[in-house]
Structure 1
Amino acid sequence: MQCSYFDAGRCRSCTLMGSPYTEQLAGKQSHCQALLSDHAALEWLEPIASQESAFRNKAKMVVSGTARNPTIGILDADGHGIDLRKCGVCSPGLRAVFPVVAHFIRLHRITPYDVPHRSGELKHIIVTESPDGDIMLRLVLRTDQLVPRIRKHLPDLLAELPQVKVVSVNLHPEHKAVLEGDREILLTEQSTLNMRVNGINLHLRPQSFFQTNSGMAAALYRQGRDWVNELAPGSVWDLYCGVGGFALHSAAPGRTVTGIEFSSEAIASARLSSDEAGLQGMQFEAGDATAFALAAEQSPDLVIVNPPRRGIGEELCGWLEASDVRHVVYSSCNAQSLARDLAALPSFTARRARVLDMFPQTTHYEVMVLLERAG
């Protein structure tokens, strides 16, 4: 893939841009194998490739410039906007939204936030596209001052972009390097974006997490489902379950599945998906994954973990070591923290691993490992 923004030095976010894709994928496989080289029994499955471009289903874009001439993209080192509306890793559905939003900003005099001067209102737009082509649009504002104006003129935006189903305003009053704030104001009747994956309808609320590559998310959940069904556990925990992707794919007659996620928004989405599908034996609870495990009276047969980049940590590793859990399916977006966690689980043997290229054109990737208790 070639990118004019990268070639011109305007954006270097995709650090592998221009490298042959086969080399990118082979490099990620080699990197992961080197980090997990201590696990001699590990069988490496073929890595799963992504499409090279237009794979992102979510864009977090900085709004800068002026109300008359807004930029949608990133900031340079001095805090000035660089427009990236034609970014080639974003899906065509995302790219179709950017110019319409820019026109909306101009037409209704919505002042972008000026980082160097700490003034203005609109900080970011966060756009997500479902596999069916529907859109969620979130506007991150410094205050609620412009909410009435946006609400008043929103029908015009929706008429021009009928694929936009969910619109919200996020309030982020602080001047710091955090993308969004805690308060969300929903502006549409529909509150969730339907993310249909492998025939399962996942519901994404504005502040919930979903993988940024829908094709790779589907492959990730299929791999987890296949390993779980092969082992046929009677009980499964999905820790860090998000909107319930792994948990819902693990549902089966006679099996109990419990999903734990800190975000109450994500748990509400997971419950809705489970109820709609009429699944039995499903339970979702909001809370800390490690605290839940430590307080539990019984261990499940199998645990799925899909933690943030920091990994599951020493405390949860210690609980797994002392538990009766027979198998762990570990999905990681950071092979370095994965390697550290596996070293803290000497009672488990890493049996299989698979790299999934969730983030082409960058050094990042997802890797799944199947662990089995030794002996």
Structure 2
Amino acid sequence: MAHMIAKNSIHTLTITALNDQAQGLGMLDGIPIIVEQALPGERIEVKIIKVTPIYLVGKLCSVLAPAQDRTQPFCQVFTRCGGCRLQHLSYPAQLDFKTDLARAQVSQVKELQTVRIHTTIGMDSPFHYRNKALYPVGLRQDKIVMGFYATHSHEIIEHPVCGIQDARIDRVMAHIRQFLECSRISIYDETQHSGLLRHVLVRIGMRSGEIMVVLVINGRDLPDKDRFISSLTHTMPEIKSLSLNCNQEKTNVILGIENRVIFGKYTIRDELGEFQFDISPSSFYQINPRQTEMLYRKAVEYAALSGKETVVDLYCGIGTISCFLACQAQQVYGIEAVESAVHDARNNAALNALKNIEFLQGEAEERLRELADRDVRPEVVVVDPPRKGCEQSVLDAIIAMQPQRMVYVSCAPKTLVRDLGYLARNGMQPLEIQPIDLFPHTTHVECVTRIERKDR
């Protein structure tokens, strides 16, 4: 009966819940409706912008009776930028939302009903936490635009400042924009696959203060290169690394394979806890170092190490978690598919004088079999997979090793509970989940899970 409600018609309704994308949910004449930026308990006026046989989509026109948890967004482009979806929700309520996300996913798997889910650990000050930003660059009416993409779009939304990233990134981008406006550097057009500058990547070492800038270009070199280097580094002497990333493919993949240093070092250095890490342009390095340290310490706590254990760290990246584990384990084996990440991981272990870590490059399942063939029998396995979670073959290889404990670090509750359910059905029992807010004002949440073998 959805067709009985006309597109562009105006209606009043009450929002009853949020979905996992923080969209408001309600009912209109018995038909489910989705409304962006509306909160539970609010009485709102909406304009119908999409009609389907089974649901409606409404655009928020006005809030007639606001929820107690509604707050004023701190960003002027909040309603347009695709970066943050929860700025209109008070921070304590954001943490509740993320705890509920984890609980809702766990409740759908019968083997996980006894798992304890802790409340989400938040930040004292949930602002300016990001150490990395990636800006698309484009042209609009012959004017340079730099910003973030709108939701489900390649429209670039400009903003002079971003309240969730380190303020030094705003300064770098302001200077680059100023330079581009009077330079010979052409701007990439993704429809024509022409022009040079595609993206700008900025990384900050939050403790070291070192800054890395990477220009992603549709070419091999940069006009006005020397003047660009001189101008940027004179304005911001904290910049220790300037690189060109060459990406001449017609693709939505942002970074190309080749990085060419044009000033300073290939890496910048930062610290997590008592450890130092060198970070390269393509390194995966968590974007919120304050919460990352808490995340890693929770993972070590759940590993329950006495100093005698052998630990396998799957999807180890540049070796961050491995270093935290190595201080309390006898031996750590880190496994990572990306060759450049393994190179960085080995360097980071040496940088921290950790001699009880061995890094193996290759697919997780294959390297686990190799360790088994070497008669390596880990007491603890730690996994930190990408959003898609672990392949079943990887879980089977872990189960075959019969570790006493597992720690599962996840950025995607849906794939986390899928994998936890499989482990629970195969002798590995999840016991507790600790959500940690690494991404305030967004819908993302990181979870750390403690798992033990059932026959212990």
Normalising by the smaller structure, the TM-score range is over 0.9
Instruction: Note the C-alpha offset of 1:162.
Output: 0.9
User: Do the aligned residues in 1 keep the contact of 2:303 with 2:405 (CA within 8 Å)?
Assistant: no
Q: Which shows bigger deviation, 13-22 or 304-313?
A: 13-22
| C-alpha separation in 2, matches of 1:151 and 1:288 | 41
What 5-or-longer segments of structure 2 have no aligned partner?
A: 1-71
Match of 2:282 in 1: 207
Q: How far does the alpha carbon of each residue in 1:85-117 deviate from its partner, in whole angstroms, 9 at most, with x for none?
A: 312111112112110111222233211112233
Higher RCO (C-alpha 8 Å, min separation 6): 1
Instruction: Note the C-alpha offset of 1:232.
Output: 4.8
More helix by share: 1
Match of 1:373 in 2: 453
Q: Which shows bigger deviation, 102-111 or 162-171?
A: 102-111
Q: Which shows bigger deviation, 275-284 or 53-62?
A: 275-284
- Quickly say closer, same or farther: Cα 1:63–1:362, change in 2 above 3 A: same
- Quickly say closer, same or farther: Cα 1:229–1:327, change in 2 above 3 A: closer
**What is the SS of the residue equivalent to 1:18?**
coil
1:1-20 equivalences under 5 Å are 2-7=73-78, 9-20=79-90
Match of 2:126 in 1: 52
| C-alpha separation in 2, matches of 1:137 and 1:92 | 15
Runs of 4+ in 1 over 6 A off after TM superposition: none
More strand by share: 2
- Quickly say closer, same or farther: Cα 1:331–1:79, change in 2 above 3 A: closer
- Quickly say closer, same or farther: Cα 1:79–1:117, change in 2 above 3 A: farther
2:210 pairs with 1:134: yes
Instruction: Note the C-alpha offset of 1:19.
Output: 0.9
Instruction: Note the C-alpha offset of 1:183.
Output: 1.3
User: Do the aligned residues in 1 keep the contact of 2:303 with 2:450 (CA within 8 Å)?
Assistant: no
Letter in 2 for 1:310: K
| C-alpha separation in 1, matches of 2:74 and 2:365 | 42
- Quickly say closer, same or farther: Cα 1:48–1:104, change in 2 above 3 A: same
> Which of residues 5, 8, 27 is equivalent to 2:97?
27
Instruction: Note the C-alpha offset of 1:66.
Output: 7.3
What 5-or-longer segments of structure 1 have no aligned partner?
A: none
**What is the SS of the residue equivalent to 2:269?**
strand
**What is the SS of the residue equivalent to 1:5?**
coil
Q: Which shows bigger deviation, 240-249 or 215-224?
A: 215-224
Match of 2:106 in 1: 36
Larger Rg: 2
- Quickly say closer, same or farther: Cα 1:90–1:254, change in 2 above 3 A: closer
| C-alpha separation in 1, matches of 2:420 and 2:201 | 35
Query: TM-score, normalising length from structure 1?
Result: 0.93
**What is the SS of the residue equivalent to 2:326?**
coil
2:443 pairs with 1:353: no
| C-alpha separation in 2, matches of 1:190 and 1:78 | 35
1:197-346 equivalences under 5 Å are 197-230=272-305, 232=307, 234-252=309-327, 255-296=330-371, 297=373, 298-345=376-423, 346=425
Instruction: Note the C-alpha offset of 1:49.
Output: 0.3
Letter in 2 for 1:98: M
**What is the SS of the residue equivalent to 1:162?**
coil
- Quickly say closer, same or farther: Cα 1:348–1:207, change in 2 above 3 A: same
